[in-house]
Amino acid sequence: MGRRRRRRRVDPADAARALPEAIAALSQTLPAGPSPETFRRAKFDRPEAAPALWRLLFRVLSPQLADGASASFSPEAQVRSVKLALRTQGYPRRALAQLPDDGSQGGRELLLALAWLLARGPLPERLLTQNRVQLGDEMPVCECEALASPGPPAPSVEADGCVDIRHLQWLMGKLRFRWRNLMASQQEQCALLGKIHSYTRGCHSDRSLGHLSVTETELLRDPEGGRQLLRRLERENARLQAALEWRRRELVFWRWMVGGRGPQWSAARTALREAVGQDLAALRQACERGGGCSLAQPHGPHRLVRTEAGAPGGPGLRAPEVIEALRSQEARLEVVLRQLQGQCRQELARLVGAPPGPVWILPPGR
Amino acid sequence: MDTAFTLLAGSSRRLVAELRDALDSCAERQRQLERSLRVSRRLLRAWEPAETLAPEPTPGPETNEEAPSAACIPSPQDLKELELLTQALEKAVRVRKGISKAGEGNKAPSLKSGSIATSPATRASYPPSTSHRAGSRASETKPPRGILQTRVPTKDLPERRLLSVGDQACMGQGAGATKPKSGLRNEQIVLSAASQAPEAFTLKDKGILLQLPEAFRKAASRNSRLWAQLSSTQTSDSVDAATTAKTQFLQKMQTTSGWPGPRLSATEVEAEVRHLQKACLLLRLRMGEELTAVVEQQLGPWPEGRFPRASLPCGGGADPIWSPQLLLYSSTQELQTLAALRLRVAMLHQQIHLEKVLMAELLPLVSKQEPLGPPWLALCRAVHSLLCEGGQRFLTILREDKPAD
């Protein structure tokens, strides 16, 4: 157990500074982060700290909201939203739900909640990723993100009642039409991107990129927009820097949060939990990376770069490889769909009954 | 007969909800695409002159090294004049060197040439006095600044106009594709807001003259560096210690929860199931079995309540940290093929999901009804179309009429 633990001889003055510096970094990397002093007050459950922490948790738990949009939610609405979000994520402590909705109390509990969120995953990085400034023309090389979005909410009991199956057929037709439109628009956008990339070749200071993206060209066309983009970029840089600082210093924060270990903890039990936890995490990571399996494919949005014909190009994915991977995905999915449809055909044939039932003439052209 | 087509309330609500969700996600993609299309189309048209031309009367050309981004971005008009001036300077350099294209005569002088390399030839009568001044200006080149400065020393104004007027008569031909670019980028260009540029800026003609402002370039490269650093700080000694402390903290939270026994949230269950599905899939692949076609069907239907989509064996965790990655393409057609395939894969995922939902709701319906009556056959036909033909085609049912009694 002691193998992984590092004991450091720390100068008391450094130790005293370390915690506020860690919290300052945390506060700067999170959106709407309160001051280190507020954090300290929260730990002692001072009431004046509570509103700031409710606001912080609201921003952190609803990152899809634009920067100024939080203001349109009343304090009570923010409190309720935070409680719901934490409950959905499995927050283990009952005390949070019992805090008053007016947001006047609960600094200490909220601090625990924030720490709980931070402990479970790379929260600052995730928030930064979700709202990051996109400078390039990006295309995801997989459909992970789209698929990860939740389906429709379970439909509530409505007065609508029954629905005609022909309405479903109509909806299906509408869906097909939308996909066709989407395809056409997408092709046009690619053609335009191709032109913009061509026309600005050699303009980028970064040689590995070569040409400008739409965003970069747009900032040249629209100086005011360009200034705003630059400001956003600089703000993001500050938060990124703070996130790196936080990662360097966060240990002292965790020691502050954990405090002394309670009497019910035994060294052996701790070691066991650690070991199991690490194994699970490693297994999870291996699964997530697709560990060596041929199906593993790159993931996430990539910046599009147009290379000149014949030029070898630098680091990065090549389009032909992605196309190959997508083609095999397409083929596999088509097989699945056809199999499902085949199952339906068999099942329906069975339900209708063998001859001498009615004769089914299938539509031509398959 | 109409009642045959009516579905039970419960099924229909779920089906309509799913279809509406599919329609909505399509609509959302379309909206985003339209936004991008608007921006791209606008970029490829002639650019409107910017509201804020930035000619600031400053004492000298070397006022600031690190110009604020506001003043650095040139208006299309400025770029126009920039090009006129550069062409004049090019010409001046050539005249000085004795390389003369003077004999070629003047074709249609216009800024609408496709690229600098193909613009028409110049006229012979280039005023030597102008070339002298242009030459001296050429020797004032500052070190590469990288941006197009737009400042007007007032003392140069009359000279400027002369040059511009002269230039309109003798449109220069760039010595080569690279020369005008470096000419623009290396010199402190001084422009007059007074002279009118004849043509607006188009990306097609002048795109390669563009350059990003210094402030932006620095911020962008810092941004890229920081992201790369952030996504690589996952393994270090201090991270291990922090991970240990975090685990301790989480355990402590659990034991002081105030709830009896452990609880799992809906999100956690979903996440765990996704992980398990991925693990299952990978295990099967490692055993060399056939792929998704078999596995997806055998993983079973989803419980009521939430309707998660099928999971993908894609190499991404629940929260990947972004880091800069490139996708290189070599032709527009390649890009279009890639994009089309991506959409096709997305559409197939959606179709498969809808197929499963339809199967789950419609097949029981067919089996519950009174068989062989005309209403039931109509329902079967409709269900068959939805389930087996994607709602696109219908089969024909032939039935022997019973002879009337």
Q: d(Cα A178, Cα B29) in Å, to the nearest integer?
A: 10
pLDDT of residue B198: 58
CB atoms within 10 A of CB B80: 22
State what percent of residues in chain B have pLDDT above 70.
Answer: 46
pLDDT of residue A222: 92
Q: d(Cα A214, Cα A232) in Å, to the nearest integer?
A: 17
Contacts of B184 in chain A (CB under 8 A): none
* pLDDT (tens digit per residue) in A13-23: 676 788 889 99
The mean per-residue pLDDT over the stretch B223-232 comes to 90
Output A189 or B54, whichever has higher pLDDT. Answer: A189
Q: Which of A83-87, A185-189, B54-58, B235-239 has the lowest mean pLDDT?
A: B54-58
Are A105 and A186 in contact by the 8 Å Cβ rule? The answer is: no
State what percent of residues in chain B have pLDDT above 90.
Answer: 20
The mean per-residue pLDDT over the stretch B148-171 comes to 37
Q: Which of A131-145, A246-260, B57-71, B203-217 tops mean pLDDT?
A: B203-217
- CB proximity A71 to B under 8 Å: no
Contact assignment for A155 to B34 by CB distance below 8 Å: no
Q: d(Cα A260, Cα B79) in Å, to the nearest integer?
A: 67
Res. B119 pLDDT band, cuts 50 70 90: very low
pLDDT at B201 over 70: yes
Select the residue from B184, B329, B333 to test the A interface by mutation, using most A Cβ atoms within 10 A.
B329
pLDDT of residue B114: 37
Q: Name the residue with tokens 């055998």.
A: B298
Q: d(Cα B197, Cα B74) in Å, to the nearest integer?
A: 14
Among A204, A185, A208, A292, which residue's Cα sits nearest to residue B327?
A208
Distance of CA A261 to CAs A118, A127, B174, B262, Å?
Answer: 20, 31, 76, 21
Shortest CA distance from A185: residue in chain B:
B33
CA angle A326, B269, A121 (to 5 degrees): 75
pLDDT at B400 over 80: no
- CB proximity B294 to A under 8 Å: no
Burial A2-21 (b: 16+ CB within 10 A, else e): eeeeeeeeeeeeeeeebbbb
The mean per-residue pLDDT over the stretch A123-129 comes to 91
- CB proximity A133 to B under 8 Å: yes
- CB proximity B399 to A under 8 Å: yes
Q: d(Cα A247, Cα A160) in Å, to the nearest integer?
A: 53
Output B332 or B403, whichever has higher pLDDT. Answer: B332
Res. A336 pLDDT band, cuts 50 70 90: very high
The mean per-residue pLDDT over the stretch B167-196 comes to 38
The mean per-residue pLDDT over the stretch A202-217 comes to 91
Are A233 and B223 in contact by the 8 Å Cβ rule? The answer is: yes
Output A320 or B112, whichever has higher pLDDT. Answer: A320
pLDDT of residue B50: 60
CB atoms within 10 A of CB A359: 12
pLDDT of residue A187: 97
What is the sign, positive or negative, of the torsion defined by CA atoms of A203, A205, A210, A215? Answer: negative
Res. B278 pLDDT band, cuts 50 70 90: low
pLDDT at A82 over 90: yes
pLDDT at B252 over 80: yes
Helix (H) or strand (E) segment spanning residue A359: strand A359-361
Local structure of A149: helix, strand or coil: coil
pLDDT at B300 over 50: no
> What residues contact A170, with CB distance under 8 A and at least 6 apart?
none
pLDDT at B204 over 50: yes
Contacts of B238 in chain A (CB under 8 A): 6, 248, 251
pLDDT at B258 over 50: yes
pLDDT of residue A200: 94
Contact assignment for A326 to B341 by CB distance below 8 Å: yes
CA angle B78, B84, B87 (to 5 degrees): 135
Q: Which of A126-130, A131-135, A139-143, A297-301 has the lowest mean pLDDT?
A: A297-301
Q: d(Cα B55, Cα B71) in Å, to the nearest integer?
A: 8
Res. B271 pLDDT band, cuts 50 70 90: confident
Q: Residue A17 is encoded by which pair of tokens? A: 């500074």
- CB proximity A4 to B under 8 Å: yes
The mean per-residue pLDDT over the stretch B292-306 comes to 41
Q: Which of A121-130, A306-315, B245-254, B386-395 has the lowest mean pLDDT?
A: A306-315
Q: What's the pTM?
A: 0.69
Q: d(Cα A330, Cα A317) in Å, to the nearest integer?
A: 19
ipTM: 0.82
Specify the long-range contacts of residues A51-55, CB closer than 8 Å, at least 24 apart. A51/A75, A51/A103, A51/A104, A53/A106, A53/A107, A53/A110, A53/A111, A53/A114, A54/A78, A54/A79, A54/A82, A54/A103, A54/A106, A54/A110
Phi, psi for residue B47 in degrees, rounded to 5 = -80, 135
pLDDT at A160 over 50: yes
Res. A283 pLDDT band, cuts 50 70 90: low
pLDDT at A44 over 50: yes
Q: Residue B382 is encoded by which pair of tokens? A: 């409709």
Shortest CA distance from B209: residue in chain A:
A203
CB atoms within 10 A of CB A330: 16
Q: Is B287 exposed, middle or buried (0-12, 13-18, 19+ CB in 10 A)?
A: exposed
**Number of CB pairs, chain A paired with chain B, less than 8 A apart:** 557
Among B384, B224, B331, which residue's Cα sits nearest to residue A360?
B384
Q: What is the DSSP string of B76-132?
A: HHHHHHHHHHHHHHHHHHHHHHT---GGG------TT-SSGGGSPPPPS---HHHHH
Are A110 and A42 in contact by the 8 Å Cβ rule? The answer is: yes
pLDDT of residue B99: 53
Helix (H) or strand (E) segment spanning residue B328: strand B326-329
Res. A214 pLDDT band, cuts 50 70 90: very high
pLDDT of residue B370: 61
Mean pLDDT of chain B: 65
Q: d(Cα B266, Cα B263) in Å, to the nearest integer?
A: 10
Res. B379 pLDDT band, cuts 50 70 90: confident
Local structure of A352: helix, strand or coil: helix
pLDDT of residue B188: 36
Helix (H) or strand (E) segment spanning residue B70: helix B69-72
Are A101 and A80 in contact by the 8 Å Cβ rule? The answer is: yes
Q: Which of B205-214, B238-247, B250-259, B282-291 has the lowest mean pLDDT?
A: B282-291
- CB proximity B176 to A under 8 Å: no
Q: Which of A246-255, A291-300, A338-347 has the lowest mean pLDDT?
A: A291-300
- CB proximity A340 to B under 8 Å: yes
Contacts of A144 in chain B (CB under 8 A): 312, 314, 316
* pLDDT (tens digit per residue) in B7-65: 666 667 888 889 999 999 999 999 999 999 999 999 999 988 764 333 334 444 444 44
pLDDT of residue A24: 92
Are B122 and B171 in contact by the 8 Å Cβ rule? The answer is: yes
Number of H helices, E strands in chain B: 13, 3
pLDDT of residue B256: 79
pLDDT of residue B283: 62
- Report the interhelical angle of A165-199 vs B9-44 (nearest 10°): 20
Distance of CA B366 to CAs A338, A348, A358, B379, Å?
Answer: 21, 8, 15, 7
pLDDT of residue A238: 97
pLDDT at B394 over 50: yes
Q: Which of A194-198, B255-259, B273-277 tops mean pLDDT?
A: A194-198
Are B96 and B135 in contact by the 8 Å Cβ rule? The answer is: yes
Shortest CA distance from B257: residue in chain A:
A93
Among A288, A287, A290, A297, which residue's Cα sits nearest to residue A324?
A297
pLDDT at B103 over 50: no
- Cα B100 to chain centroid distance, Å, stands at 45
- CB proximity B394 to A under 8 Å: yes
Shortest CA distance from B330: residue in chain A:
A307
Res. B403 pLDDT band, cuts 50 70 90: low
Q: Which of A33-47, B34-48, B204-218, B357-371 has the lowest mean pLDDT?
A: B357-371
The mean per-residue pLDDT over the stretch B85-98 comes to 71
Contacts of A185 in chain B (CB under 8 A): 30, 33-34, 37
pLDDT of residue B159: 35
The mean per-residue pLDDT over the stretch B185-202 comes to 50
Distance of CA B52 to CAs A90, A223, B71, B73, B157, Å?
Answer: 53, 8, 9, 10, 20
Are B174 and B181 in contact by the 8 Å Cβ rule? The answer is: no
pLDDT of residue B56: 37
pLDDT at A191 over 60: yes
Contacts of A296 in chain B (CB under 8 A): 313, 315
Q: d(Cα B401, Cα A362) in Å, to the nearest integer?
A: 20
State what percent of residues in chain A have pLDDT above 70.
Answer: 77
* pLDDT (tens digit per residue) in B329-372: 999 999 999 999 999 999 999 999 999 999 988 888 877 766 66
